């Protein structure tokens, strides 16, 4: 499965997890994918097994690359928010709401 075309929102962690779950579909169905990619004895001459395996491999690598890019992007975004909140926390150490937000973002990372 390809990455979503739009920007991925990292603010809602549950939504982010759901996106990753959907993007793992090809990995979760690998046995099925292999069974449908490798031809049975009756279809050996009709299907190029090497080509279909190559296409499956490319599909897997594309899915892995997309997931890795999205994960790293969200880590970078959330780390940036944590850095900003830490700087604000240095200025306002008595702000409990700010501390709570900082802890929430740190947990996300």
Average pLDDT over residues 29-48: 75
Give the pLDDT band of residue 34 (cuts 50, 70, 90).
Answer: confident
Q: Determine the structural domain holding residue 83 and report its residue range.
A: 13-107
Please indicate, yes or no, if residue 18 is contained in any of the structural domains.
yes
Please indicate, yes or no, if residue 52 is contained in any of the structural domains.
yes
- pLDDT for the residue 43: 64
> What percentage of the chain has pLDDT greater than the value 70?
85
> Is pLDDT above 90 for 48?
no
Please indicate, yes or no, if residue 41 is contained in any of the structural domains.
yes
- Read off the pTM: 0.72
What's the number of domains the chain is made of? 1
DSSP per-residue letters across 47-58: S-HHHHHHHHHH
Please indicate, yes or no, if residue 3 is contained in any of the structural domains.
no
Which token pair is 87?
């700087």
Please indicate, yes or no, if residue 5 is contained in any of the structural domains.
no
Long-range (24+ apart) CB contacts under 8 A made by 62-65 are 62/2, 63/1, 63/2, 63/23, 63/24, 63/26, 63/27
> Is pLDDT above 70 for 5?
no
For residue 69, the tally of other CB atoms under 10 A from its CB is 12
Please indicate, yes or no, if residue 2 is contained in any of the structural domains.
no
- pLDDT for the residue 80: 93
Please indicate, yes or no, if residue 67 is contained in any of the structural domains.
yes
């Amino acid at each position: 499965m390809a990455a979503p075309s739009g920007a991925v929102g990292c603010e809602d962690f549950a939504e982010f997890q759901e996106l990753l779950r959907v993007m793992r579909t090809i990995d979760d169905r690998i046995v099925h994918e292999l069974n449908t990619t490798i031809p049975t004895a009756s279809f050996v001459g009709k299907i190029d097994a090497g080509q279909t395996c190559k296409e499956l491999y490319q599909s897997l690598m594309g899915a892995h690359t997309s997931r890795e890019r999205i994960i790293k992007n969200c880590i970078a975004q959330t780390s940036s928010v944590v850095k900003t909140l830490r700087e604000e926390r240095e200025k306002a150490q008595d702000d409990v709401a700010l501390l709570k937000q900082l802890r929430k973002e740190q947990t996300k990372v």
